[in-house]
Amino acid sequence: MLSNVNEYFRPKTVEEAYELMQNDRDHSIFLSGGTIVALMESSRIEKIIDLKSLRLDTISVTEGEIVVGATTTIESFRKDPVIRKEFDDFFYDAFSLVGSWQIRNMATIGGSVAPKLGWSDVSTCLLTTGSSLMIYGVDGYQRMLVSDYFALPTGEKPLITHIMLKRDGWVSAFEKFSKTTFDIATVNVGLSIIPERNRIKVARVVCGSRPQYPARFESVETAMVDLEINDVMPAIVRSLVYESFTGGSNMTASFEYRKHLASVLAQRAAEKVKEMIT
Amino acid sequence: MKITLNVNGKLHDIDIDPGEYLLDVLRRIGYKSVRRSCNSASCGTCTVLLNGKPILSCSTFAASVDGQSIETVEGMSDGEKLHPIQEAILEEGGAQCGYCIPGLIMTGEALLRENIDPSDEEIKLALNGNICRCTGYEPQNRAIKKAAQVMRGELDE
Ligand SMILES: Cc1cc2nc3c(=O)[nH]c(=O)nc-3n(C[C@H](O)[C@H](O)[C@H](O)COP(=O)(O)OP(=O)(O)OC[C@H]3O[C@@H](n4cnc5c(N)ncnc54)[C@H](O)[C@@H]3O)c2cc1C
Ligand code: FES
Ligand code: FES
């Protein structure tokens, strides 16, 4: 039990939720799926602000992009017919590797991105698909790329209200290595390309659980431009990731081990993408 | 604070602490099938169904499910008559110490409501989060398959 919690709020609007947080930032916490909050054992938390009452759990299509409410669970998201069709089961397959069925029924898309977790498969996949967030903070509503959200100063704790996705011709694949079937990733890799006349027009290469939060490897992306999509392309991607890997060591894996893993996972992702195109 | 829970079709008005977990509240009001093991969202022993979906009661705040529907294994049997999943677990040797079984049965039940003819792979994926120290999983997977056959009317109870 979070024994110091003495108030539980169910705000009706985003503005109200944010104001409740501003009133006592030191002792308040937003609650979405709760899979992190419930395990916190923190005596600091006195006020829970439950975001589920905002009913931000819908998926809709607006002006050509898919708009996902932040409290949509990972399982509802991956099984949503619009998401499955639009992304050719990229999210359906990738998110089947997130935790267990129970965890996916609880954890939400917003709650996965908000804490800037290093290991989050959700964040890696959203970066891989170039997704954006709608956040509400001191300056009101603001739209930003997931990568820009990760670059915000740690003290800033805006409320994420929506995630926006658009396929725009990208073909994506995801690979993860973990020690047991529902453990968090030792390393995960997402790869997207736009093909043009059997060559790579543009690429996105994302690596997570490095152990820092997921990041794009821009030098790899640049080097992949104009590569022919053939049988040797995946091996080239592997060497590029091996050469450019940035990350570190922790109790799960050393830098060297991660570097090898990331390059092999990138090769596998490139093979998948090649299969999808050819 | 006060919340209302619909547990196995029965309404309960309950006084809770705002930071209390669903697992503790369910046990306090008599649903002792709901068990704690890892207490860190990692074993599935505490699985219950929330609006028909399997979730972990050890890491769900009771306040967050106010007014919603919970199902536990107490609601599965019909008097003396066991549910086909319970029967199949017994017949296939899917329970040894039995500690993990209530959670496993609830996940199995949710799976069969969604998919009455799951493949071996689908059963493994669904039960991935229900850890069992005793059985090695094979008898439990067989039991879910057998219960599905019974529920499809292809096998006598
Ligand atoms: C055993 C276990 C295994 C897991 N395995 C994986 C895995 O393999 N891959 C993977 O990707 N994830 C995995 N996860 C899930 C992941 O680690 C997080 O637990 C989950 O993504 C958090 O989502 P939530 O909705 O439950 O967040 P919550 O616990 O509700 O919130 C998390 C944090 O974000 C804040 N927050 C929540 N929503 C918002 C919002 N809309 N705006 C601003 N702040 C917000 C909260 O205040 C809190 O600080 C696993 C979790 C567990 C417990
Ligand atoms: S006790 Fe809840 S998952 Fe282990
Ligand atoms: S039967 Fe003993 S833990 Fe599963």
Q: Give the tens place of pLDDT for each residue, B2-31.
A: 999 999 999 999 999 999 999 999 999 999
* Cα-to-centroid distance, B58 and ligand 2 (Å): 5
Question: Does A2 reside within a domain?
Answer: no
Alpha carbon distance A71, A77 (integer Å): 10
Confirm if B16 and B1 have CB atoms less than 8 A apart. Answer: yes
For residues B65 and B89, membership in a common domain is answered with no
As given in the structure block, the two tokens for residue B31 are: 């649903």
Report how many domains make up chain B.
2
Evaluate if residue A181 carries a pLDDT over 90: no
Examine residue B49 and state whether it is found in any structural domain, yes or no.
Answer: yes
B7, part of any domain: yes
The residue length of chain B stands at: 157
Partner-chain residue, chosen from A1, A101, A103, that has the shortest CB–CB distance to B24: A1
| Residue B42 belongs to domain with CATH number | 3.10.20.30
- Sheet containing A215-216, strands listed edge to edge, beginning at the edge strand earlier in sequence: A171-177, A187-196, A199-208, A215-216
- A56 CB-contact burial (10 Å; exposed 0-12 / middle 13-18 / buried 19+): buried
Strands A215-216 and A199-208: antiparallel
Neighbouring CB atoms inside 10 A of B142's CB total 18
Ligand 2 mean position, distance from CA A226 (Å): 49
Q: Which of B28, B49, B73 is the last residue of a domain?
A: B73
Write out the residue range of the structural domain in which residue A26 sits. Answer: 7-52
pLDDT for position B155: 87
Where residue A278 falls among pLDDT bands split at 50, 70, 90?
confident
| Both structure tokens of A148 | 């820009």
**From ligand 3's centre to the CA of B104, what distance in Å?**
10
The residues facing A48 across adjacent strands are A8, A29
Q: Tell me if A249 sits within 8 A of A255, measured CB to CB.
A: yes
Q: Which residues contact A138 (CB under 8 A, 6 or more apart)?
A: A158
Q: How confident is the model at residue A154, as a pLDDT?
A: 82
Q: What confidence tens digit (pLDDT) does each residue in A107-122 have?
A: 999 999 999 999 999 9
- Looking up tokens 């997977």 gives B141
Q: Distance between CA atoms of A187 and A252, rounded to whole angstroms?
A: 10
Cis peptide before A211 (omega within 30 of 0): yes
Neighbours of A33 (CB within 10 A): 27
**3-class SS at A181?**
coil
Q: Which of B89, B102, B83, B94 is nearest to B43 (CA)?
A: B102
CB atoms within 10 A of CB B32: 12
The reply to whether B99 and B137 lie within a common domain is yes
Pocket test for ligand 2, best of B39, B50, B55, B107 (most atoms within 8 A of CB): B39
- CATH number, residue B107: 1.10.150.120
Strands B2-7, B69-71: pairing kind: parallel
Place of tokens 């959203």: A126
pTM above 0.80, yes or no: yes
Q: Does any domain span residue B146?
A: yes
The tens digit of pLDDT for each residue in B97-139 reads 999 999 999 999 999 999 999 999 999 999 999 999 999 999 9
pLDDT digits (tens, 9 = 90+) for B50-60: 999 999 999 99
Least reliable range by pLDDT among A80-89, A118-127, A185-194, B148-157: B148-157
Ligand 2 pocket, residues with Cβ under 6 angstroms: B 36-39, 41-46, 56, 58
Residue B100 domain flag: yes
Domain, as residue range, for B44: 2-73
pLDDT digits (tens, 9 = 90+) for B64-80: 999 999 999 999 999 89
Which pLDDT does position A124 carry in this prediction? 98
Q: Which of A2, A96, A102 has its CB closest to that of B125? A: A96
| Closest to A91 in 3D by CA, of A150, A163, A194, A34 | A163
- How far apart, in Å, do the first and last CA atoms of chain A sit? 54
- Give the tens place of pLDDT for each residue, A30-50: 999 999 999 998 899 999 999
The answer to whether residues A140 and A161 touch, using CB atoms and an 8 Å cutoff, is no
Name the residue at shortest CA distance from atom 27 of ligand 1. Answer: A111
Are residues B16 and B67 located together in one domain of the fold? yes
| Pairing mode, strands A171-177 and A187-196 | antiparallel
Find chain A residues with C-beta within 8 A of B54's C-beta: 101-102, 105
CB contact under 8 A, A48 and B40: no
- Do residues A35 and A103 lie in contact, with contact meaning Cβ atoms separated by under 8 Å? yes
Co-location of B69 and B90 in the same domain:
no
Residue B69 is inside which H or E element, if any? Answer: strand B69-71
Q: Within this chain, do residues A77 and A150 fall inside the same structural domain, yes or no? A: yes
Alpha-carbon distance B99 to B134, whole Å? 9
